[in-house]
Each structure stands twice: as structure tokens, then as C-alpha cells.
């Protein structure tokens, strides 16, 4: 029987694990495999069954996904909560599984690899945090039919909804790193002039982002000096005068600001007018001393490549220190 999507388990670790497993079970196998391959840094995973609270030998992992591949999960919802003896018990129980590929995935909210995981000398153990899970989900949600590789599955509307809801669930459970030192940097060929004109950021409806306090714009080979604060967002709204006037979730000031932009789009016959978009409301934040020049190069050559393709995250504290080049931000995603 399929797992209920948002689990009724009362114990936090079981509730989180069951919800993650349920979403993986409710999307197509290729999407589930893509997500798990990214978490485990493996390829050619083959998934068949999804089980919660699997009984082992002196060990009950939080969940398991089994076929010729056995992926066992130990989930922690508190930081610094990994138990080395528990991990060793799971690995001992996993010895009894006949799967060709065996992995114990330790999923935690820790920012760095827990010492208890590092101490266990077993190639079957893999650590991942919820930030990396969110990053993987965002990457999957960025796919579209026009540019996805043949081996990649593009989520349907229903699957995209489930993945976005999983992201929001993980945010609500406070399992993702703090937003205060995180800046969303967006590719901004169109977005930068729109922000300058209207103080807003427009993008695909329901586009998934980590919670952030600030947003920055990357275009013309640089991060622009204006780094506004994020005040609110509307996940999906049709950009017409009538819809904006009647939208119940807009404050009066937001309505006036967005209506001015939509009216301007209409007057200019912009393609934005009439489209359904996500809208992020911005206000003055910080101003950098100078633009941050892109010096990112391809891994196999000295060829310069874009610092941002769709979006990425950088450290707010590093950005406000006025770096000269983007490589100074590289280790802060």
C-alpha cells in the first residue's frame, strides 16, 4: 500500500522520513532515482519497494528502498544527534541483505559531516544533509522538456507539486540551514532592468527557492551592486490589471506596486503581461562598493563560464565584504 504523503507519525524522525519516502514513491522511478543518485553520488540505482521502519538484526532503520539496490535511511531531525553505535548496528543488519549495492544514507540537518559518521570506516555509509536534498529537488524542478537530457525525467505538474510541498515541509520542520547568511543570486538579463523599474522580481510560477532574506542579480558577467531585501512573495498570479486588483493575498501597498508594473507591461506590450508568474517583493537592502566580476572557469579549461545559470546561493556575510571576483564566493553555496 502506498505511504500517505504527509505522515501521521508523531515522532519527528519517523514523520520526516516517512514524508520523504512517500514523495519518492509518488513520483516516477526515474525522478526518484535521479534524486537518490545525487544524494549518494551513485549511478544506475534500481528502485522497487519503499518501506518504513524496517526491522533488522538489533536494528530498525527509519526506512529502506530495496531491489538489487538496498538503500537504508537513518534520519535525524536535531543537529549533533548521530549515534555511532546505532550506525554500526544498521551496517551489521545490512550485512544480511542480499542486494548487490548497499548504502546506509544518514540524513541530518548538520552543516558539516558529523564526526560519528566520519569515524565509521565503511564505504556503504553516506551522509547527506537536508540542504543537499533541497538543492537536488530545486535542480529537478528546473528541468524542462526543451533542455533536459534524454536520461533525465522532467517532472509532471503533479510531481512538481509534490516536490515543492516536500521542500516546504522540510523548511517548516526547520531542517534547512538558516536563511540569514544566504543570498539568492538569480540570472537577471531581464530581471535586473525590471527590478530597477519596478522593485520586483518575476519568475516562473511556483518556482522553488530556499528561504532567503536577500536577493542579488547576475548579468553582464557580474553580480550587480544592489542587493535588496526580500519582503514577501506571491507564488502564482496572472499579471493582468483585473487579477491584481482582486487578488486577496496582496496588501494594499503590494497591490499598488504590482498594478503599476502590470499597467506598464500592458502599455509596452511586454510578454510579461497576461502571463502567470511568481512575484517576489523587494525593498532596499545593501549596496556593494562595486560589482562582483565573474572569473569562474570551466573545470577542464580556462574558458570563462557563467557564475549563475538559473539561480544559486552565496553567503551574505561574504558578499557584503565586497569581494572583487565571484571565485571568492565559490565555497559558500
Given this model, what pLDDT does residue 56 score?
60
Percent of the chain predicted with pLDDT > 70: 87
Q: Residue 1 has what pLDDT?
A: 40
CATH for 181-329? 2.30.130
Radius of gyration from C-alpha coordinates of the chain: 22
Average pLDDT over residues 97-106: 87
Q: Range with the lowest mean pLDDT among 158-162, 172-176, 183-187, 289-293?
A: 172-176
228 or 13, greater pLDDT: 228
Reported confidence tier of residue 330, pLDDT bands at 50, 70, 90: confident
User: Count of H helices and E strands in the chain?
Assistant: 10, 13
pLDDT value at position 331?
Answer: 61
Whether 62 shows a pLDDT value over 80: the answer reads: no
Q: Dump pLDDT digits (tens) for 3-58.
A: 445 544 445 788 899 999 999 989 988 898 889 988 888 876 766 566 666 666 56
Write out pLDDT tens, residues 247-285: 999 999 999 999 999 999 999 999 999 999 999 999 999
Residues 6+ apart with CB under 8 A from 230: 184, 212, 213, 214, 215, 280, 281, 282
Interval 104-146: pLDDT, tens:
999 999 989 999 999 998 999 999 999 999 989 988 888 776 6
Contacts of 128 (CB under 8 A, 6+ apart): 39, 40, 105, 106, 107
The answer, yes or no, to whether residue 300 has pLDDT greater than 80, is no
More confident residue, 319 or 305: 319
Question: C-alpha angle 232/233/236, rounded to 5°?
Answer: 160
Which helix (H) or strand (E) segment is 18 a member of?
A: helix 12-26
All CATH 2.30.130 domain ranges of the chain, comma separated, are 181-329
Amino acid at each position: 500500500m502506498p505511504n500517505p504523503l504527509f505522515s501521521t507519525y508523531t515522532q519527528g524522525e519517523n514523520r520526516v522520513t516517512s514524508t520523504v519516502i512517500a514523495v519518492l514513491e509518488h513520483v516516477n522511478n526515474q525522478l526518484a532515482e535521479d534524486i537518490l543518485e545525487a544524494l549518494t553520488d551513485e549511478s544506475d540505482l534500481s528502485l522497487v519497494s519503499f518501506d518504513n521502519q524496517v526491522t533488522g538484526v538489533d536494528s530498525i532503520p527509519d526506512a529502506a528502498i530495496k531491489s538489487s539496490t538496498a538503500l537504508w535511511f537513518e534520519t535525524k531531525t536535531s543537529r549533533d544527534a548521530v549515534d555511532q553505535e546505532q550506525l554500526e548496528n544498521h551496517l551489521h543488519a545490512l550485512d544480511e541483505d542480499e542486494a548487490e549495492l548497499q548504502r546506509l544514507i544518514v540524513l541530518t540537518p548538520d552543516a558539516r559531516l558529523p564526526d560519528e559518521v566520519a569515524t565509521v570506516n565503511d564505504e556503504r555509509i553516506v551522509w547527506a544533509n537536508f540542504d543537499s536534498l533541497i538543492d537536488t529537488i530545486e535542480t529537478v524542478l528546473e528541468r524542462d522538456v526543451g533542455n533536459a537530457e534524454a536520461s533525465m525525467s522532467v517532472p509532471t505538474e503533479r510531481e512538481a507539486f509534490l516536490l515543492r510541498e516536500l521542500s516546504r515541509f522540510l523548511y517548516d520542520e526547520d531542517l534547512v540551514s538558516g536563511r540569514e547568511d544566504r543570498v539568492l543570486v538569480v540570472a537577471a538579463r531581464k530581471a535586473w532592468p525590471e527590478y530597477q523599474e519596478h522593485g520586483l522580481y518575476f519568475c516562473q510560477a511556483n518556482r522553488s527557492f530556499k528561504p532567503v532574506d536577500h536577493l542579488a542579480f547576475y548579468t553582464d558577467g557580474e553580480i550587480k551592486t544592489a542587493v535588496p531585501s526580500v519582503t514577501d512573495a506571491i507564488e502564482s498570479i496572472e499579471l493582468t490589471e483585473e487579477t491584481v486588483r482582486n487578488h486577496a493575498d496582496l496588501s494594499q501597498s503590494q497591490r499598488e506596486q504590482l498594478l503599476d508594473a502590470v499597467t506598464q507591461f500592458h502599455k509596452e506590450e511586454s510578454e510579461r503581461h497576461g502571463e502567470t508568474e511568481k512575484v517576489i517583493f523587494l525593498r532596499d537592502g545593501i549596496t556593494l562598493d562595486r560589482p562582483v566580476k565573474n572569473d569562474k572557469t570551466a573545470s577542464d579549461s580556462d574558458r570563462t563560464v557563467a557564475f549563475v545559470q538559473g539561480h544559486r546561493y552565496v553567503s551574505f556575510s561574504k558578499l557584503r565584504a565586497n569581494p572583487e571576483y565571484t571565485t571568492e564566493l565559490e565555497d559558500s553555496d
